[in-house]
Copies of this chain bind each other. A is one copy, B any other.
């Protein structure tokens, strides 16, 4: 059996009791380590599970999935995913391949940032589609997120923005020369996200949002030191110090927000006066 096991959002104790049983008994345990990370190291997990973990990078999952699935028709293999196995990135390919090989698959769900973000005080019913933000480079500034956010904003919905992480990336030079040397990991901050968003609004000029649009920055959601900061996009460009270490994510508010959301998130606001003023002007409308 192939088990897709959700690990939850923060540390080794966020696994479910059911998931922990599977991990303790499985013949092999993989950790998918390129779409998200826990806030603790691999060694902490291995110590807690009482067994070694095989780290599965993108290359292994996408090009060598048969190794992960090896003998899974006879023995149990646990494929662990930070958050929920179907949270941010689905592992549809792996499951389809398992099916082809006649291997049964079972999922152990867990918390995902897509529901955990509710701790920011926003109602999950008021969210539209989720978007991702990647690190811009000089030559690559994909802005399809802008169109998606526009669709959400047009009907008044919030948008959850998931931020890029770069783990085990090679520089172009090392890649060209076939050197397996990897850059240090990078995690996008709320400040970087807010500033890239404003950059694209400058470029596209459709008024989807602006420096005064309200948003909430979130750090380490579900962790013991989870932190939220609410403010305008302009304010959020400068609050990375307050938010602290990764992982970060962000919500851009939609106008169809409820006053309970205002009251709850106000607590996190950089400047309560600005928050109240902008809210009264633009939010809480149908």
Residue from A21, A128, A221, A226 with most neighbouring chain B CB atoms (10 Å): A128
**Given A8-B109, A13-B18, A123-B90, is A84 in contact with B115 using a C-beta cutoff of 8 Å?**
yes
Nearest-neighbour CB distance to chain B for A118, whole angstroms, equals 2
Chain B residue contacts of A107, Cβ below 8 A: 119, 222, 226
1/0 per residue, CB under 8 A from B, across A1-39: the answer is: 000001011011111111011000000000000000000
Cα separation A167 to B121 with both chains bound (whole Å): 26
What residues of chain B lie closer than 8 Å to A267, measured between beta carbons? Answer: 99
State whether B151 touches A118 (Cβ < 8 A). no
Q: Assuming the A-B contacts A111-B109, A267-B99, are A129 and B118 also in contact, with contact meaning beta carbons closer than 8 angstroms in the complex?
A: no
Q: Is the CB of B116 within 8 A of A86?
A: yes
A110 to B26, alpha carbons, bound, how many Å? 23
Task: Please provide the chain A residues from 244 to 265 with a CB less than 8 Å away from any CB of chain B in the complex.
Answer: 260-261, 263-264
* Bound form: Cα–Cα A222–B17 in Å: 13
Is A45 in the interface zone, CB < 8 Å from B? no
C-beta contact mask, A71-89 vs B, less than 8 Å → 1, else 0? 0000000000001111110
- A124 in contact (CB, < 8 A): yes
Shortest CB-to-CB span from A106 to chain B, Å, is: 8
Determine the distance from Cα of A132 to Cα of B125 in the docked complex, in whole angstroms. 9
- Chain B positions within 8 Å of A9 at CB level: 109
Given A9-B109, A15-B17, A110-B16: A124 touches B130 (CB 8 Å cut-off): yes
B-facing mask of A144-177, CB < 8 A → 1, else 0? 0000000100010100000000000000000000
Tell whether, in the assembled complex, residue A86 and residue B6 are in contact, meaning their CB atoms are under 8 Å apart. no
CB-CB under 8 A from A115, the residues of chain B are: 83-84, 86-87, 109, 111-112, 114-115
CA–CA, A99 and B121, complex, Å: 13
Given A13-B17, A15-B16, A114-B114, decide whether A129 and B119 contact each other with a Cβ distance below 8 A.
no
A90 neighbours in B (Cβ, 8 Å): 118, 121, 123-124, 260
Q: Is A143 an interface residue (CB 8 A)?
A: no
